């Protein structure tokens, strides 16, 4: 799966539909649970098209020996048929951990979606002495930031592949690269 990402961690998927059709599924709270974070509980702050300030809460499925974890992605920017920007927030301190930008571009009769996930604050902008240290209550920060970003990047690729399968009406198992 890691090999299906660009060297910079960008995930790119081409979907056989117009940008309007792809964006309608990508940026709509009611469809989020059908293709995001398979096997987890996905809820939105409200129904309908996403707008800045909305949130997507993903209750991660519980695995043996690991406590259940909730992630909250807050909608930061919406440019219809072109861009959706969401940011991962900690539940306790509301710090932004990462930013995901999904950009859409028409490509013939299809749409190419490019998903980029970046840390909220580049290493060079962090306060001196704060490298690698999690703030109290920032449970997800306990993981290495590189490992965390890699995990989110692979998850974005899987989610885009599930979105592609949903829109094109193909089985998800065939859409996901091995």
Q: How many CB atoms lie under 10 A from the CB of residue 7?
A: 5
- Contacts of residues 72-80 at CB distance under 8 Å and 24 or more positions apart, as own/partner, are 73/100, 75/50, 75/51, 76/52, 77/52, 78/27, 78/49, 78/50, 78/51, 78/52, 80/23, 80/27
Tens place of pLDDT per residue across the chain (178 aa):
445 788 888 999 999 999 999 999 999 988 888 888 676 788 888 899 999 999 998 887 666 666 667 889 999 999 999 999 999 988 778 888 899 999 999 999 999 999 999 987 654 444 444 444 445 445 444 455 677 788 888 989 999 999 999 999 987 645 455 4
The CATH code for residues 2-120+139-167 is 3.30.530.20
DSSP per-residue codes, 70-134: EEEEEEEEEETTTEEEEEEE-TTT--EEEEEEEEEEEETTEEEEEEEEEESS-GGGSPTT-TTPP
pLDDT at residue 127 in the model? 46
**Rounded to an integer, what distance in angstroms lies between the CA atom of residue 145 and that of residue 95?**
14
pLDDT score, position 137:
47
Phi, psi of 75 (to 5 degrees): -75, 125
* DSSP character string of 4-38: GS-TTS-EEEEESS-HHHHHHHHTBHHHHHHHSST
CB 159 within 8 A of CB 36: yes
């Amino acid at each position: 799966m890691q090999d299906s990402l660009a060297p910079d961690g960008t995930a790119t998927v081409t979907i056989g539909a117009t940008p309007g059709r792809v964006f309608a599924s990508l940026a709509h709270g009611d469809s989020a649970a059908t293709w995001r974070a398979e096997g987890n509980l996905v809820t939105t702050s409200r129904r309908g098209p996403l707008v800045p300030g909305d949130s997507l809460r993903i209750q991660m499925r519980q695995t043996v020996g690991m406590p259940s974890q909730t992630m909250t992605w807050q909608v930061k920017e919406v440019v219809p048929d072109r861009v959706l920007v969401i940011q991962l927030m900690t539940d306790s301190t509301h710090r932004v951990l990462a930013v995901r930008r999904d950009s859409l571009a028409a490509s013939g009769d299809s749409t190419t979606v490019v998903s980029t996930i970046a840390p909220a604050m580049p290493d060079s902008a962090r306060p001196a002495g704060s490298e690698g240290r999690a703030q109290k209550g920032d449970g997800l920060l306990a993981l290495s930031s590189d490992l965390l970003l890699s995990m989110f990047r692979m998850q974005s690729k899987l989610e885009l592949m599930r979105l592609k399968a949903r829109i094109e009406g193909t089985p998800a198992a065939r859409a996901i690269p091995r």
